Every structure is written in C-alpha cells, then in structure tokens.
Structure 1
Amino acid sequence: MMRQVFLGSFVLSAALTANAAPTNTGSSCLPVVDLGYELHQALSYNSTNQLYTFQNIRYAQPPVGDLRFRAPAQPKTNRTAIQTGSELRFCPQGVPVWQGDAFEPIGEYSNPANPFSLQAWETSIQDGQPLPVDWNKGASEDCLFLDVHVTKKTLQKAGEKACGDEGSPVLVWIHGGGFVLGSKTGTPTPGYDPVGLFQHAAANSDDGLVFVALNYRLGAVGFMSGPDVEKDGNLNAGLLDQKFALQWIQDNIHLFGGSKEKVTVMGESAGGGSVLFHLTAENGKGVGLFSRAIAQSPATIPTMQVAADSYSQFLSYLNVSSLEEARAADSQAVIAANAAQIGAAPTTTYIFGPVVDGKYITGSPTKMIKEGQFDKSVKVLAGHNMFEGAFFFDPNITTDAEFKTWTNRSFAGLTSKDVDTLVTSLYPPHFDGSLGYVDQDTRQMKLWSEAVIDCNYYWIGHAVQKTGYAYEFGVSPGFHIQDLQYTFNDPSTPAPWPKAQDALQEAIITFVQGGVPEFSNHKAFPHLGSHSTIVNITAQGPVQATSKVNATRCDFWANIYQ
C-alpha cells in the first residue's frame, strides 16, 4: 500500500450453532472465525441490532525494528490461542498545536444553539485552547489492525456461498486526520460508530452489510520521505498499509459473509484523499481492490511534496543521525519524537503526507484524475462541505506580504512564479466578497480549501459526471469534519439535525448496496452531468443544487504538480 491468499474456514462456536442467544457477556456465546494464520473471536454482540464486532484483527506484522519505515509484511501464524482483540490498538499520533486549538471552536459552532458569525469564528480560533487529551496514551507502533462489524444473519450465511449466496456488500472506512492523527475507531476521541449505517442497511435491503475499519501508520512512521528512505525503505508506508488491508479484505471477508466483489471504500479528509490515491495508483491503473468509492472531503497536497527538512528534522527530534539508528531506536522515543515534530508544525501544515514514489504513487491524483488516469470501472460518490477551509488559516497573517509567505510555506515545492500567480491573479487582495473572501483570514481559508479539498472534489466529480454522483454537506456552518457526526452517529453525541443525518446515511448505504445513492422516497441522485448538478444535504434534508466550485482556480491546482 503482495500478499498471499490465506486459506481459512468459518467456525461457529457450539453455542451459536445451537441457536443460543449471544450477549455482550460471556465469550462462550461468541463466534470464532478461522483466518488460517490465527483464530479470532468476536469481542461483543449487540442484541438490539444483532451486530457482532470482531475487534483488532491483525492484518500485518508489527512494523517495528527492521520493518520500521518499510512496507507492511504478512502476519506470522499464531494459532496457540484464540484472539479476541480486547486490547487498545491505535497508531502513534501527532497533533499540530494550531489544529488542537481548533477542535473546541468546531464543537461549539457545530451546535446550532450557538449562532455562527464569521467574526466570532475567527476570534474563537485565535483564542482556541487544546482539548485536554493525551493523544498517545495507549498508542503503539504495533497498530496494523482492523475491525469487522457484521450482523448475525450475514455471519451465519458465510458458509452458504456454495449454495448461491454471493455475500453481503462491504463498506471499508479509512479515517482522516491529515495523515498524522486518527484511528479506525476515532480513539482517543469519540469516534465512528457504524450502528446507524447498519440500521439504514437493514431498512433498505435484505443484502445486509459488513463494515470494516482499519488503522494505518501515520506521521513520520507512516510517511517518512527522502533519499535514505527511498534507498532503504518504502515511501508512503501508510498508504501501503491501506492497500495491504484492502488485500486482506479480498482474501478473508468471505469468512464473515462479505463479498469481495462488492467492496466500497469510503474515507474522509486524508481518508478521502487516500481513496483518490488508490484510484490513481500504478500509473492510473488503480489498486483494483474495490468496485465503489466514496470520497468525502478528499484532501491531498497538490504539489505532492513535503518540507525538504522533514527527514533531518525527525532525526534531530529522535537524537539520532541515520535511518539505521532510527530503526534501532526505542519505540517510545519514536512516538515522542513524532508527536513533538508534528506538534510544532507551522499553521495549516502537517509536515508529513504522501509523496510521489514512482511505483505505487506516480503523480498528483488531482492531475491524473483530470487527465482520465484512474480506474474507471469504480463507481464514485464524491462529497465535500460548504466551508471546508474554516479552520485552515493563520490569524497572525494581516498583510499581503505575510499572505505571500504563508502561501509559500503552506505548499512545499511551489515556484516563485506559482506563488505570484496565486497571490496576484487567482487570490488577489480584493475583499468585497466577489472572490469568496472578505479579509486575510478568509482569503487563506478559500485558497487552502480549494487547493487541498474542493478541487479534488471538483475533478473527480467531473471525471465521472455521466456515471458518478456528487453532494455538498450544506448544514451550517459546514466546517471540515462537521459531517462525520452525520456520517456516523455516536450515541453520546447525536447529530443535531436528524433529517440531514438520515439523508447522508441513506445515500451512503444505497450506494454501497446498489451502486446508486437514493433517499427514503426512492428518489435517486442525479448524475453531475454538464450542468454540475449535485445534491445539497441541508439541515432540513436533501435538495438538488448546482456546484459552485471555481473551475478556473481548480484548473490551476490540477496542473501545479511538475
């Protein structure tokens, strides 16, 4: 992100085979799946939704020691004990201070009880305080695990494929977080509960659903770049982790009742960007491991470069002088160095991210999609939020000269000519609102959102305009990541606008199950077509609208990669 195919068989516990009533208590009632290399038992059963959770299934070896900064490797066989996955598993994190300061304001203004104004928002970001969270408490480099959620009915049908059952559709979740933070469950913050998606799946079809969420390496351990890594390691290890997990799904999901022919990959932000990377992988051939894709707020850096000193900077934080020494370093020291380096990232940057490796990633996905270099057999549903750039600005930028400096440092690899074009022609200092901004703060927001997210959404939408679908999350204020609460429905923090949540979840599930997003009245999404027709998901439900993403600016961003 190859791997061999594991031959395994489905094993039901005696209690389940005898139609016992499993609960969350008592492991003897919970089914066991034989993966060949290990036996894995469901950790819990939700009797209300008849939903099993198989947690922390290992899909690769621990990427430590000599495997650090390398592509993932096949898990070793361990059949001495049945695995339950009860331990905490998430990858080492790094949270830039500037982003940490934004989480509290995002939560405040995502609540409709708190009236939103641009002035209040800008002030709240400037005065923001980080959440009282230890982002690496419980983190481990041994984090290449995935979760499988599956209904009792689907699981019981796993052994019936020979009788004509093709298996249930599979929805794979790739989390976001700037390629430096996050996890398959959202840990250590409230996360991605798929119960609402399963409820809509059951209401829409008898086909069922299998939901898979995966971890992948982040920050320095997942996206270290530079000549040394290129020579004695693998660039884009985090993306290779994702690819490895997708191959695991192809090899093993039938054991849970899922169909490898009906896999939908869904991701948000960096996860949505990852979807585009896999669509355009290997010179545009695509990874070939899924048939449908949902790209939510797909985020990629258009220059496909990271800061030139990111590698030497990491070695300095780790207090070593070579890649070999970094591989030999203590894991806790690596976790601490990664967190410290990313924590100090300049505002609106994350330091690490995917780069062109000449093998799996051969170019900017934005440009490749524009030029038709992607797997066209994959059906696509693309989405973005109406105010993606909301917290992507530096409140200390007050002059045109400072804006120019900010633009240059926000996107490694820009030429002086590129910067001049951006600040004088495409995003000039005209603050009457006609260009989409009214001050230096919103000028940054607009440039960043279009460069990193909106234009990816624009180009993938237009590339599949006759066969694909697009929507805008239009619930005010429409911040980046605000839609996650509506995509999922963590019971502890229900979405404030139920009609918007139902509409988004219905669209996702009907697309996963049938390839066409629909709503409860069976009205299907329109294709984007030549008129840029989209669906706007508002607080009161879905309405047909027209995309207003700036085509001229998006043409520039699609061609910025040299």
Structure 2
Amino acid sequence: PRARTLNGTYEGLHSEEWDQDFFLGVPFAKPPVAGRRFRIAQAIDEAWEDVREAKEYSAECIGYGGDNNGYPLSEDCLYLNIIRPSSPFTNTTADDNSPRLPVAIWIHGGGFYQGGGVDARYNLTYLVSESVTLGMPIIGITINYRLGGWGFLASDEIMTSGQTNLGLRDQRAAMRWVQENIEAFGGDPAQVTIFGESAGAASIGLHLTAHGGRDDGLFSAAAMQSGNPIYYRPFNSTADWWNFLYAQVVRDTGCAIHPSEAPASGTALECLRHVPFEQLHGVFNSSEVLRTTWGPVIDGDLIAKRTSQQVSAGEFVKVPILAGTNTDEGSVFAPIPMETEEDFVRFLKTNTRVLPALDDAAVEKVLELYPLPDTSNSNSNTTSSSATANALSPTLPFSPSPHPYGLHWPRAVAYATDVLFAAPRRATCAAWSAAAAPAYCYRFAAPAPRTAWRDPALVGVAHFADVRFVLADVVGTGYN
C-alpha cells in the first residue's frame, strides 16, 4: 500500500491476517534535536519524488517510567502510526473514488513522563478490526509526543521565549499533519476523533480549552478516559517551584555560566539546547523530582488560565465528548498501608504530588464526608450508613473488609477518585450540557483481568482498567 502526502509518497505494510494496511513510523514534524531541542515542533518542509518506507515503528520519546521499558528511546521521536482496513481500498493508493473513513487518534497516558504511541498495549489493530465487524470502519492513529523535561521544561525564561508545553504542542502538530495528509490514506479530515486515557485524556481536555477555547479545526469529537479539562496537575505549583527545578537543571548541566561566557543569545536555554544528549538525559534522570514532575503549565497562551474557570465560563471547543472514570481510580494514588486515621490525615495534608494539600478545616470536612468503611459486611468496603456516605460512589466492591492494605485505605481511594476524576468529570459533563454540546458520560465498573502487578480483588476497577476493553485487546497484547 502507498500513500502520497503533501511532501512525498510512503509505502507501508499489508497484513493478510487482519486485512489491514500499516504505515508505521511516519514523521509529522522535524526531529526536535540540536537547535530544535526545547522548541515548538516545526513542520516538515522538504519534498521527495522517490518512495519512502513506513514499515517500522520509530523509537519512543525519552521517558522515565516502566511504560518505556523494552522500547527504544530517542530525542528524534515525533512520529505517528496509521492502521487502516484494507478492503475499502481496491487500489494500492487511496484515490478520489475511495471512501473517506472516520479517523481516531489515540493519545497515550503516562503522567507526561512515560509511555509512547508504539506501546504494544495501544496497538489499534484490534479496534480497527472491530470497527469493520460492526460495519463502521475507521482508521486508527497512535502518536508520540515529548515527555518529562524534554517536553514540559518550564521557567520564567522559557515562558518569555514562548517555547512552553511542547509535548502538548507536539500533539497538535500531529493533529495538524493528519488534517493535511489523512485523505491520502483514505481518511476524512472532517471526522477526526481524539481519544486517550489518563494524561492522554487530560491532554485532550487541554486541547478542548486551548488558546481560550479557540477551535482550530483539528478534531470533530473527543473521548476522555480518566481525565478531562478540569485537571489539577498543571496548576499544583508556583513559578518559584518551576524556576527552582529549572535552576537545578541549568546548574547540573554547566549552563549556569558567567554572562561573558554565555552563547550568542546569552541564555541558559540556548546553552541547554546544545548540551550533549547523554549529559542532559543523566540530569533529568538524576532524581525522582526531575524525572516525573514536569507537566503542563499555565502559560497564558496554549493554557490561558485555570481550565476549571474556562469550563465554567463555556470557553471550550463545543464538539461532542465522551467522558468517564473508573470506579476505583484512586487505588493507584493511595499509599500503602493506611491502618489509622492519622495515616489518612497525613495523606490529605502531604500528598501534594497529585492532590492539593488540605488545611485543618478542610481535613475535618473530608473526614466527615469520607467516614470509616462499614466492616460489618465482610464483602464490602462501602462507607458507613450516613446519608452523605451513601451518596458517594461505591468503593472497592470486590475487596474483602477490612481491606488488606489498611482499615482506612478505602477512604483514601474514594477521596482520590472523587477529587481527581469523578467530580471533574461531572462538572465537565454539566458544562457541555449547559452549552448544548453533546456529552456522553459514564462510570466504568468492569475489573480488568488480573496481571502480575495488579489484582482487581485488591485495587478494584483501577486506573487503566478500561484501556484493554476500549481497544478491544482480548488477548492482552503488551500486558506481559
């Protein structure tokens, strides 16, 4: 199979087994290396007359978590992968007589510091196959985007330069490439759905509110699993915190130099662009903070202000959305063990990595709203029988009581689920409804199959439990 894009022709692979065509490792921007490091992704501006192969996955972007284990990593990582059903395309190249299929772009999660579009768990072959079976064929696309400090380095200097939130801008660059080129693959640029989970869903929420809610025509619908526009992470720290971390990076790379010795631009940022890869990689990998803390920030441009304010004001792209959460999202955010109320209070006051730190008055309110689980039923962690407690979502319905991770652990799970996921989802869906924009909202309550690292009998319907179902991965590809 071949496809002629604006720049030139790509040749992909055909799968007889799946009756699908794969175009793998297709670049959607220039490599963000050397002088393009820490800059907004630049469009490809070369053209070619020969045929270039698109038959192998690219490397993933540099990441610092288990999701990247087993995959090659590189700064040169801005590539996407296209999976399409073969049958609608009788010719090797889509032409004017070919159908134009809806397109689904998957944005992976991973806390903005790990993951990639080539992860086997995100193989869209199964989903595309299922779409054909249902008589509604689609084209599936997965993308990479810069992660960690490579994609989300922040400081006053970077704010001034305008080179902010690069990972999110990479995603938009991929969407823009799809708008310009997907017809060559048989796709319909007017029917593009962006969908993703966790940080991928949060990214989608930020695209819905990007530039103050401006519609750039990059997508026509959005589906968000365990994430939405009302997202705490970008706003849980101050400029002082980002500047402190940035100063560490600048110091440890030797870029905190005397002005007379500075590069022509006289900036630490320009110096960082030319630090050898291994050295900068080592600095980012030197501590848990520098590995995992970087993420989206309010920059007054792509993220204009707090997105909760935008959502309540109706400042978002009014396309149809699907938004949902899993029953026990909080089980991966609650520390183990949690035997006493003092443990729970400590969690509320100090777990600022993903949750706001609460003052004493707020802690007392949370203790009231999230009472100790009722242990009279040995098969339930449902909270005790006050009217308030009964209004809460069910928690850990498959776990024994008291819970093996601690008597008070279900309280933390319920609280984290509500604060991070359920409450923002409800507010998002209400705002869409108020704006007369279609919103389909759900709670996912099916436990995922047990894996070596996650037992639903203990963690319930946890964060990420839905992904395998949504992507129609019956055999569990990539979960070993």
TM bin, normalised by shorter chain, reads: 0.7 to 0.9
1:409 Cα shift?
A: 5.2
Match of 2:62, SS state, is coil
Match of 1:422 among 362, 381, 401: 362
Identify the residue that residue 356 of structure 1 maps to in structure 2.
298
Tell me the distance in 2 between the aligned counterparts of 1:89 and 1:145: 9
Root-mean-square deviation (Å): 2.9
Superposed CA deviations along residues 474-502 of structure 1, whole A, max 9, x for unmatched, are: 11321101111112244652799xxxxxx
1:264 Cα shift?
A: 0.7
* Structure 2 runs not aligned, ≥5 long: 257-267, 374-382, 396-405, 448-459
Alpha carbons of 1:88 and 1:146: their partners in 2 closer, same or farther (altered >3 Å)? closer
CA contact (8 A) 1:93 1:335 kept: no
Match of 2:9 among 15, 39, 51: 39
CA contact (8 A) 2:234 2:295 kept: no
Superposed CA deviations along residues 322-350 of structure 1, whole A, max 9, x for unmatched, are: 323221111223333333334777xxxx4
Bigger drift between 389-398 and 233-242 goes to 389-398
Match of 1:69 among 38, 58, 66: 38
Matched, 1:369 2:323: no
Superposed CA deviations along residues 192-247 of structure 1, whole A, max 9, x for unmatched, are: 12222222211222x52111111010110111111011123511000000111111
Tell me the distance in 2 between the aligned counterparts of 1:304 and 1:239: 15
Superposed CA deviations along residues 388-443 of structure 1, whole A, max 9, x for unmatched, are: 0111123377546623442445447x6xxx63453222355742424568855334
CA contact (8 A) 1:170 1:263 kept: yes
Q: How do residues 174-253 of structure 1 correspond to structure 2 at under 5 angstroms?
A: 174-186=107-119, 190-205=120-135, 207-253=136-182
Superposed CA deviations along residues 177-199 of structure 1, whole A, max 9, x for unmatched, are: 0111110121xxx4212222222
Identify the residue that residue 51 of structure 1 maps to in structure 2.
20
Bigger drift between 462-471 and 168-177 goes to 462-471
CA contact (8 A) 1:279 1:287 kept: no
Amino acid corresponding to residue 227 of structure 1 in structure 2 = D
Q: TM-score, normalised by structure 1?
A: 0.67
Match of 1:40, SS state, is strand
Identify the residue that residue 474 of structure 1 maps to in structure 2.
445
Tell me the distance in 1 between the aligned counterparts of 2:215 and 2:439: 17
Amino acid corresponding to residue 140 of structure 1 in structure 2 = S
Tell me the distance in 1 between the aligned counterparts of 2:478 and 2:439: 27
User: Structure 1: which 4+ aligned runs deviate by more than 6 Å?
Assistant: none
Identify the residue that residue 401 of structure 2 maps to in structure 1.
none
Q: How do residues 115-194 of structure 1 correspond to structure 2 at under 5 angstroms?
A: 135=69, 138-156=72-90, 159-161=94-96, 167-186=100-119, 190-194=120-124
CA contact (8 A) 1:183 1:215 kept: yes
Tell me the distance in 2 between the aligned counterparts of 1:439 and 1:460: 32
Tell me the distance in 2 between the aligned counterparts of 1:152 and 1:450: 43
Match of 1:244, SS state, is helix
Tell me the distance in 2 between the aligned counterparts of 1:62 and 1:303: 26
Identify the residue that residue 232 of structure 2 maps to in structure 1.
301
Alpha carbons of 1:200 and 1:490: their partners in 2 closer, same or farther (altered >3 Å)? closer
Tell me the distance in 1 between the aligned counterparts of 2:365 and 2:306: 23
1:318 Cα shift?
A: 4.2
Matched, 1:84 2:26: no
Tell me the distance in 1 between the aligned counterparts of 2:6 and 2:207: 27
CA contact (8 A) 1:224 1:311 kept: yes
Alpha carbons of 1:427 and 1:366: their partners in 2 closer, same or farther (altered >3 Å)? farther
Tell me the distance in 2 between the aligned counterparts of 1:358 and 1:293: 23
Tell me the distance in 1 between the aligned counterparts of 2:127 and 2:348: 44
Matched, 1:311 2:240: no
Amino acid corresponding to residue 315 of structure 1 in structure 2 = V
CA contact (8 A) 1:310 1:351 kept: no
1:87 Cα shift?
A: 5.3
Match of 1:458, SS state, is helix
Identify the residue that residue 399 of structure 2 maps to in structure 1.
none
Tell me the distance in 1 between the aligned counterparts of 2:205 and 2:140: 20
Identify the residue that residue 559 of structure 1 maps to in structure 2.
none
Q: TM-score, normalised by structure 2?
A: 0.78
Superposed CA deviations along residues 293-339 of structure 1, whole A, max 9, x for unmatched, are: 11111163256244443322333554543323221111223333333
Matched, 1:453 2:421: yes
Superposed CA deviations along residues 344-381 of structure 1, whole A, max 9, x for unmatched, are: 77xxxx411111111111123333223322111x1111
Match of 1:358, SS state, is coil
How many pairs does the alignment contain?
Answer: 414
CA contact (8 A) 2:68 2:116 kept: no
Tell me the distance in 2 between the aligned counterparts of 1:403 and 1:254: 51
Tell me the distance in 2 between the aligned counterparts of 1:362 and 1:167: 35
Alpha carbons of 1:337 and 1:201: their partners in 2 closer, same or farther (altered >3 Å)? same
Share of identical aligned residues, percent? 25
CA contact (8 A) 2:29 2:41 kept: yes
Superposed CA deviations along residues 101-134 of structure 1, whole A, max 9, x for unmatched, are: xxxxxxxxxxxxxxxxxxxxxxxxxxxxxxxx87
Q: How do residues 491-506 of structure 1 correspond to structure 2 at under 5 angstroms?
A: 492-493=475-476
CA contact (8 A) 1:389 1:480 kept: yes
Amino acid corresponding to residue 327 of structure 2 in structure 1 = M
* Structure 1 runs not aligned, ≥5 long: 1-30, 101-132, 497-562
CA contact (8 A) 1:156 1:257 kept: no
CA contact (8 A) 1:56 1:85 kept: yes
